[in-house]
Every structure is written in C-alpha cells, then in structure tokens.
C-alpha cells in the first residue's frame, strides 16, 4: 500500500521521526528524593536540588536506571554498560539549574526496533535510534496573570526517558501506530503509564517531505504533541504545508513548531533559543554510569511477555487474525482477560465476545477492564451456555447486557428469566407450520422467487417464541418447508 502523498506536481514521500518523552514510573525523581505524583499543589514536591538552590547536588535514583534498561530491552535495543550524564545548558524559567541533566554522546540505550500494527493485518518494523535518561522541566502557567507567568517546579527533575526513533515512518497513521505500540510496551513492563492527557507521555514529531527516491528534505520539529489524534492532525497539516511551499518554489526553514489544536495548524515557535547551542559537557557532579551484563541479564529474565510476542502467540495458538490479536494485546489486562476466557473454549468466539461486546460496553461506561462488572470467568460461563446450545447467540446478547448491568452470572439470569432456547424439533416444526398456515400469500411470494422473505418468517417465529427458538434450526426448517411445495 502506498503512503505517497499527491501534490500538484506529482508524488511526495513523507518522512517522520518521533521523539517520545516518557515519564518513568518511580516513587521519587531522577536525582532527588521528592515525590513524582501528578496533581500536587504547586511547589509541594520540590527538593532544594529540584529548585536549583546554591550548593545542591544530584544523586542518581537506582530505580530509574532499572526502568531505562528494562525499556531498552523491551525495544530489542542495545544496552550500553557505560553511559554518561551530560548537562544541556539553556535558560528558561522552568529550568531552575539553567541546565538540564541529560545524556548526549553516551546514552544508556542504543539502537533497537519495534513492530507496529497497521490496517489490513499488516505490520512493519520501525527502528529506534537511542533511549536516554533526562530530567523533566517544571511547568509554567501563563493564564493566571495578564503580564506574569507562574512557575511550578513539581515536575522539575522527574525522570524522563527520551526515545528517539529512526526516521522510518511514512504516514501519520504509522506514526500513530508507533506511539500506540510504544505506549503499550511501556505499560506492559510498567516503566511508564503512557497517560498523554496528564503529560506522562509526550511526542515531538520531525516531519519532512521529499520526492520518492531523493535525499531527505529539510525537517521541522513539531513539539509537545499530547494526544495521538493531535499528532496525526499535526503531521498531516505539516506535510501539506511543506509540500505547498516547495511546489510554490519556496524552501523549508528548519524550525521548531507548535500545533494549535484549535485551528488544526502548526505554527513557528518564536522565542526558543535561536542558536540552540546547548554546550553539552559531561556533568562533573555525577560519575559515569556503569553496570554489569549480569545486571542487564537479570532484568531481561524478569520481563513479562511483550505485546508483539503475545500477539504472535495468540495468532498461532488461537488462530486469531492479526487485527484481533493486536486489539486484544493492546493492554496487558485485556490480554490476560481474554486468555482466561479462551481457556478450554473456542478462542475465536471468545475473541469476538471480548472485542465486540465487552469492549463495547466498557468503552461506553468508560470503565477499564480491571473494573469490569463481568469478570473473565463469568464471560466464559456465558460462552459455555452458547456452546452447549442452552441459549442462542441472539439471546446471549441480552443475557450479557443483564450480566453487565447487574453483575449476575449467565446461568442465574437464564434460569430466572427462562431464556433457554427451544431446540425441540417437534415444537419448532409446529411453529413453522403455524406461521406458514397463517400467511399463505407470503408463502406463495417466497415460492415465487422472493427468497429474502425467509427473514420475515424468521422474525415472526422469533417473536412468537419470545426469542427462544433456536435460530439455526428454525432457518433450516423454514428453508426446507418453504422450499418444497
């Protein structure tokens, strides 16, 4: 499938690289012991180190190193047994030290790759350039005062993993799939909660265009995209903007841009440091970070099964389509839920129920699967009743709705409401005979060629049986009896 964009003067190829900033799950910050929880009152979670006070010094948090290594392993990436913290020097009110402690020439994680899920059961591999640890900045609030900005340093010093992809993506869709997968991976291993609304995961997109086969074009960076939807819009807008400029004979200025979600446009950022001379040098307050291969190996052995591996296993072991498998593995909780339901049952049936019915209700109720009123074993119970013919698939839908609303078991509901399906041949034959006798014109119509009428007959019988007639059997009987004569 071609992702090429059509310009006025021919095809264009879109080249996208993403930088993801992911807040690491940890109690305390990267270099200080202040808390990291979201939503605290201003400057309540600030140590003197985070406030950049005179004489303060950073001390590395061991859990953050662990999370970075685990994430690197989950990205199939090279783990660097030695890495260096470097200072990135620039002035900004939310950067109290006047520099950010980051990593530059020697990051903790090197090259890796992930597989992303595309439509039509396709997938492709996107390369990872590197992952490094760095401090997050504080927050500036600009709307509490007409000509002043307010600074909250709670977020200052929180651990970020910056994950830089290779410029391997060719469409906004691929970019979205990449972010989705990256988020899933980090949530699986618990290194980042991926909450884009709260800002614990942010993306910057580097976007350029080129004629197919030519060298890379000049790229623009779109910063701080905090939803996948906005990212797609921003990329599409930016691609069109760049194509138009070039086709009009202009050149792209390499610059940093922001996405205005209200207008759906990207615009140039005015006052960021024009020279961007960060004067990186190794932080003399910190020693080079070193660990042994045995440390890496032990972290690797304790990683859970990752989304891609789980997806492949679901496809092979359960015969699911790539699409269904990828939907189920999107979250570890849903994958676990599904596996419980599928155990000893028809996996495709289980997949359908989980994906269509359960997810449908959960999404409407804005409830996570961990809080589902229908637990996995209960859904399994419902499926068992379909499998052994106790109820029809049609009735099961109603039973499921009741289960979701009341938390009761399928068996209980079927018993109480008397919903067992009627599969008795005699009773069904009688019902079919009855409806045919009552509607001779329609019978004649059907026999005259209007085969679609079987649906109407079905409807009548389902109505008269209170929905309990076994639909497959009724269908067979109808076709047999209507067909003859």
Partner 1 sequence: MSLDKDTVRRIATLARIRVDEEALEPLAGELNNILGWVEQLNEVDTQDVPPMTSVVETEPFQRVDRVDDGGQVEDVLANAPEEAEHFFVVPKVIE
Partner 2 sequence: MPTLTQMTLAQARDGLVGGEFSAVELTDAHIAATEAVRDLNCYILETPDAARDMALAADERRSRGEGGALNGIPLAIKDLFCTKGVQATAGSHILEGFTPPYESTITRQLWEAGAVMLGKTNLDEFAMGSSNMTSYFGPVVNPWQRTNDDAKLVPGGSSGGSASIVAARAAMAATGTDTGGSIRQPGSFCGIVGMKPTYGRCSRWGVIAFASSLDQAGPLTRTVQDSAIVLGAMAGHDPKDSTSVNVPVPDYEAALGGDLKGLKIGVPKEYRLDGTPAEIEALWEEGINWLKAAGAEIVEISLPHTKYALPAYYIVAPAEASSNLARYDGVRYGLRVEGGTPQEMYENTRGEGFGVEVKRRVLIGTYVLSAGYYDAYYLQAQRVRTRIAQDFHEAWEQVDAVLTPTTPSAAFAQGEKMDDPIAMYLNDVLTVPASMSGLPAISVPAGLSGDGLPLGLHVIGRPFDESTVFKVGQVIEEAANFTALPQLMAGGA
Q: What's the min distance (Å) between Cβ of 336 and partner 1? A: 26
3-class secondary-structure state, position 83: strand
Residue 268, CA distances (Å) to 29, 223, 236, 256, 275 in order: 32, 10, 16, 6, 15
Nearest to residue 23, comparing CAs of 178, 197, 151, 176?
197
| Of the candidate residues 15, 30, 83, 96, the single one contacting partner 2 (CB under 8 A) | 96
Is residue 143 at the binding interface for partner 2, with CB under 8 A as the rule? no
Q: Find the binding residues for partner 2 in span 24-83 (CB under 8 A).
A: 48, 51-60
Residue that the structure tokens 């049952």 belong to:
345
Residue 300, CA distances (Å) to 68, 127, 197, 246, 305 in order: 12, 20, 30, 47, 11
Residue that the structure tokens 């994950």 belong to:
163
Is residue 141 at the binding interface for partner 1, with CB under 8 A as the rule? yes
Number of residues near partner 2 (by CB under 8 A): 31
Closer residue to partner 2 in complex, CB, 59/317:
59
Contact string (CB under 8 A) for partner 2, positions 257-276, x = contact: --------------x-----
Q: What's the min distance (Å) between Cβ of 250 and partner 1? A: 25
Q: DSSP code of 188?
A: H
Q: What's the min distance (Å) between Cβ of 49 and partner 2? A: 9
Is residue 200 at the binding interface for partner 1, with CB under 8 A as the rule? no
| Of the candidate residues 229, 267, 279, 480, the single one contacting partner 2 (CB under 8 A) | 279
Is residue 65 at the binding interface for partner 1, with CB under 8 A as the rule? yes
Number of residues near partner 1 (by CB under 8 A): 54
Is residue 99 at the binding interface for partner 2, with CB under 8 A as the rule? yes
Helix (H) or strand (E) holding 415: helix 410-417
Side-chain half-sphere CA neighbours of 351 within 13 A: 19
Q: What are phi and psi of 323, to 5 degrees?
A: -60, -55
Q: What's the min distance (Å) between Cβ of 9 and partner 1? A: 35
Closer residue to partner 2 in complex, CB, 279/480:
279
Is residue 320 at the binding interface for partner 1, with CB under 8 A as the rule? no
Residues 6 or more apart whose Cβ sits within 8 Å of residue 406: 373, 413
Is residue 57 at the binding interface for partner 1, with CB under 8 A as the rule? no
d(CA 429, CA 460): 14
Report the interface residues with partner 1, using CB under 8 A: 26-28, 32-35, 41-51, 59-65, 84, 91, 93, 140-142, 144-153, 258, 269-271, 275, 277, 279, 282, 286-290
């Amino acid at each position: 499938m071609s992702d090429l964009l059509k310009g006025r003067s021919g095809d264009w190829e879109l080249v996208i690289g993403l930088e993801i900033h992911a807040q690491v799950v940890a109690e305390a910050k990267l270099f200080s012991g202040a808390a990291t929880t979201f939503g605290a009152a201003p400057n309540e979670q600030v140590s003197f180190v985070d406030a950049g006070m005179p004489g303060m010094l950073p001390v590395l948090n061991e859990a953050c190193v662990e999370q970075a290594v685990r994430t690197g392993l989950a990205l199939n990436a090279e783990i660097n047994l030695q890495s260096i913290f470097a200072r990135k020097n620039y002035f900004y009110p939310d950067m109290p030290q006047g520099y950010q402690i980051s990593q530059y020439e020697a990051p903790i994680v090197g090259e890796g790759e992930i597989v992303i899920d595309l439509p039509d059961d396709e997938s492709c591999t996107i390369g990872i350039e590197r992952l490094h640890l760095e401090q997050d900045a504080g927050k500036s609030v600009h709307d509490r005062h007409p000509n002043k900005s307010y600074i909250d340093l709670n977020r200052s010093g929180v651990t970020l993993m910056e994950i830089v992809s290779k410029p391997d993506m060719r469409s906004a869709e691929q970019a979205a799939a990449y972010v989705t997968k990256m988020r899933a991976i980090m949530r699986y291993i618990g290194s980042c909660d991926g909450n884009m609304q709260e800002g614990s995961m942010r993306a910057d997109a580097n976007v350029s265009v080129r004629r197919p086969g030519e060298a890379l074009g000049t790229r623009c960076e779109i910063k701080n995209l905090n939803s996948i939807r906005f990212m797609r819009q921003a990329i599409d807008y930016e691609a069109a903007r760049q194509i138009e400029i070039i086709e009009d004979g202009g050149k792209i200025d390499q610059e940093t841009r922001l996405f205005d979600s209200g207008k759906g446009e990207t615009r140039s950022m005015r006052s960021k440091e024009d020279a961007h001379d960060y004067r990186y040098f190794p932080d003399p307050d910190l020693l080079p970070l070193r660990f042994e291969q045995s440390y890496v190996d032990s972290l690797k052995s304790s990683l859970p099964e990752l989304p891609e591996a789980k997806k492949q296993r679901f496809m092979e072991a359960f015969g699911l389509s790539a699409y269904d498998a990828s939907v189920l593995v999107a979250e570890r909780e849903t994958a676990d839920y599904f596996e419980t339901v599928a155990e000893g049952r028809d996996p495709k049936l289980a997949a359908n129920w989980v994906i269509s019915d359960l997810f449908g209700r959960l999404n409407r109720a804005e409830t996570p699967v961990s809080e589902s009123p229908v637990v996995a074993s209960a859904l399994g119970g419902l499926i068992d009743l379909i499998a052994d013919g106790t109820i029809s698939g049609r009735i099961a839908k109603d039973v499921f709705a009741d289960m979701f609303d009341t938390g009761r078991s399928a068996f209980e509901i079927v018993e109480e409401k008397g919903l067992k399906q009627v599969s008795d041949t005699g009773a069904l034959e009688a019902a079919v005979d009855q409806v045919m006798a009552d509607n001779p014109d329609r019978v004649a119509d059907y026999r005259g060629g209007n085969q679609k009428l079987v649906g109407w007959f079905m409807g009548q019988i389902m109505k008269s049986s209170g929905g309990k007639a076994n639909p497959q059997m009724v269908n067979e009987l109808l076709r047999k009896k209507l067909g003859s004569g």
